[in-house]
Amino acid sequence: MFIHLAHPVDPDGFAWPGEPIADVQADSVIGTSGKPFNSYVTTPPNHFATHMDGPHHFNTVGDSFNDLPVERFGFEGPDVLVADIPQCCTRAALVKKEDLEPFADQLKGKRFLLLRTGFEKYRDSDPTFYQMEGPSLHPDLCQWLNEEFPELDCVAMDWLSVASPTNDYGEEAHHWLLGNYTDHIITAIEDMPMAELGDKTIKVITLGPLRVKGVDSSQVCAMAWVED
């Protein structure tokens, strides 16, 4: 069976505080616009809903999103580790190296790390809390992932962002992930739903990137093929 690992691009949704949200406008409507079909103009800001931060997001010499190799958008089951860290499902939780150290042996050789806290439950029930007071990644953790796990290509999280409005760690955390200090680039997928995965065995994850030339990052229509 297949499972969506991406939130819909919802014009009633929210982004990082102060950043733009999606806009959807009807361009033609059957019976009223003189055209025999319906069509829409959609404007999805590239850091809205489930999206991948590419190198150029925080790195002036980093690759644009469209230049990332196709291998960064597909992962076989053995390449993936789901790390459950429910202790970080709290207000302004800072995900630290010690939270991931118990997974160090499992993480060796993995290409895709999914950080599952359970915080996504607040996305619908308390969106302001989800937007303003969610978890974030500590820079020391990002440095550890960058330096100790050279095969790691991507890290995803079930909360809004690598950063949080509750602290100032976001810039440095992004720098360590996105190749500002080393040649190792770890892209980051923010705002990814993971609850439906449960404890199912993952066979394949595909990310389905929206390939827009010249931008730093973009939406990914992520899906998992799992054993039922």
Rounded average pLDDT over 50-56: 97
Least confident of 16-25, 31-40, 92-101, 180-189: 31-40
Asked if the model's pLDDT at residue 228 lies above 80, the reply is no
* Contact call for residues 72 and 36 (beta carbons, < 8 A): no
User: Between 139-148 and 170-177, two packed helices, what is the crossing angle to 10 degrees?
Assistant: 10
Mark residue 59 as left, alpha or beta (left: phi above 0; alpha: psi -120 to 50; beta: remaining).
beta
Rounded average pLDDT over 139-148: 98
Rounded average pLDDT over 19-44: 94
Task: Give the pLDDT confidence of 73-109 residue by residue, as tens digits.
Answer: 999 999 999 999 999 999 999 999 999 999 999 999 9
Q: What is the pLDDT of residue 33?
A: 80
Task: Give the pLDDT confidence of 101-132 residue by residue, as tens digits.
Answer: 999 999 999 999 999 999 999 999 999 999 99
Q: What is the pLDDT of residue 34?
A: 87
Count of alpha carbons within 13 Å of 142, Cβ hemisphere only?
29
Sequence-ordered strand ranges (E) for 18-91: 23-28, 39-43, 51-53, 74-76, 80-84
Q: Which domains are delineated in the chain?
A: 2-7+46-227 (3.50.30.50)
For residues 58 and 69, what is the distance between their CA atoms, to the nearest angstrom?
A: 19
* Contact call for residues 218 and 51 (beta carbons, < 8 A): yes
What is the value of pTM for the model shown? 0.97
Task: Give the pLDDT confidence of 162-214 residue by residue, as tens digits.
Answer: 999 999 999 999 999 999 999 999 999 999 999 999 999 999 999 999 999 99
Among 66, 48, 35, which Cα is nearest to 9's? 48
